[in-house]
Amino acid sequence: MMSGNYHHIDNQKVSGSVPAVTDPGHIPVQFAESNLQTFPPSGAQGKISGASRPPRDADDSFSKPVNGIEEPQQPGGWLRAFSVASYKPYFDVDTVDVIERIKDSLFPFNGSFNEKTTNNPDLYGPFWICTTLIFVAASIGTFVTYVAHKVEKKEWNYDINVVTWSAGLFYGYVTLVPLALYVILKYFSAPSGLVQLFCLYGYSLFIFIPTLIFRWIVAGVAGFMSASFVALNLRAHIMSAGERWFLIVAGIFLLQLALSVVLKMYLFTVTF
């Protein structure tokens, strides 16, 4: 049946036509939970699987040091003594620590220096104290002899041996004496840390810096204070060595006092 330009198909079976689909009703659609607001996702979703990882060379390039320089591995055993990194903990101090330890060396009768530095002895302070002493001793000794020769109107020549002698005296004393004392204390079953002894003897020399400046006035006082500082700080420790502890302490005291006598005789005496 045709009406105008439109054709009307009766509701009848037509060969080859598609049957009408019945309405299945409302079907709920469920979506899996996602972690879109969390990056990266906490679950397994979104992770790169082992089969799709970046190439090994690209992955390793992020873990290598800059410019391809790898950190040197620390040697083990006795070879550590020749490694600079082994001495880093003994220079890990700040200005406050050094000043506090210098103050303790100026007040020797407290006898608490060893207890304060047991867990953190340093070599920074002793090194610079010895270096300053070498510079001050050589400078003042040279200046005194120069002035004395000019006053007497005599020819003056610079003596380089003052520098080498001062370096050998201070560096040698602060190294060899603690090393010998370390062996002695170990023999008497009263061992002490070697670095601890280096630290103690190094700071004990600080008092000689103003001594070199004011020379004749405080030479004897400085020697007595320096010797008292070392002896009193080691007394409590050495007492465990037995009845002969007093001889060890007295020897330490006299040896430290002898250092001031040598300074007085050699550096504080003008020779022509």
Annotate the chain with three-state secondary structure: CEECCEECCCCCCCCCCCCCCCCCCCCCCCCCCCCCCCCCCCCCCCCCCHHHCCCHHHHHHCCCCHHHCCCCCCCCHHHHHHCHHHHHHHHCCCHHHHHHHHHHHHCHHHCCHHHHHCCCCCCHHHHHHHHHHHHHHHHHHHHHHHHHHHHCCCCCCCCCHHHHHHHHHHHHHHHHHHHHHHHHHHHCCCCCCHHHHHHHHHHHCCCHHHHHHHCCCCHHHHHHHHHHHHHHHHHHHHHHHCCCHHHHHHHHHHHHHHHHHHHHHHCCCCCC
**Higher per-residue confidence, 30 vs 249:** 249
CA geometry: angle at 250 spanning 245 and 253, to 5°?
A: 130
User: Percentage of residues in the chain with pLDDT exceeding 90?
Assistant: 20
pLDDT at residue 119 greater than cutoff 70: yes
d(CA 82, CA 106): 34
- pTM passes above 0.95: no
How do residues 18-27 score in pLDDT, each as one tens digit?
A: 555 555 555 5
How do residues 125-178 score in pLDDT, each as one tens digit?
A: 999 999 999 998 888 878 878 877 787 788 888 878 888 888 999 999 999 999
Asked if 255 and 177 count as a contact pair (C-beta separation under 8 A), the reply is yes
d(CA 77, CA 81): 8
pLDDT at residue 74 greater than cutoff 80: no
Asked if 132 and 139 count as a contact pair (C-beta separation under 8 A), the reply is no
pLDDT of residue 60: 43
Residue type at 6 in one-letter notation: Y
Burial group, residue 193, by CB count within 10 angstroms (0-12, 13-18, 19+): middle
Burial letters for 132-153: b for 16+ Cβ neighbours within 10 Å, e otherwise? bbbebbbebbbeebeeeeeeee
**Token reading at 125:** 């302070």
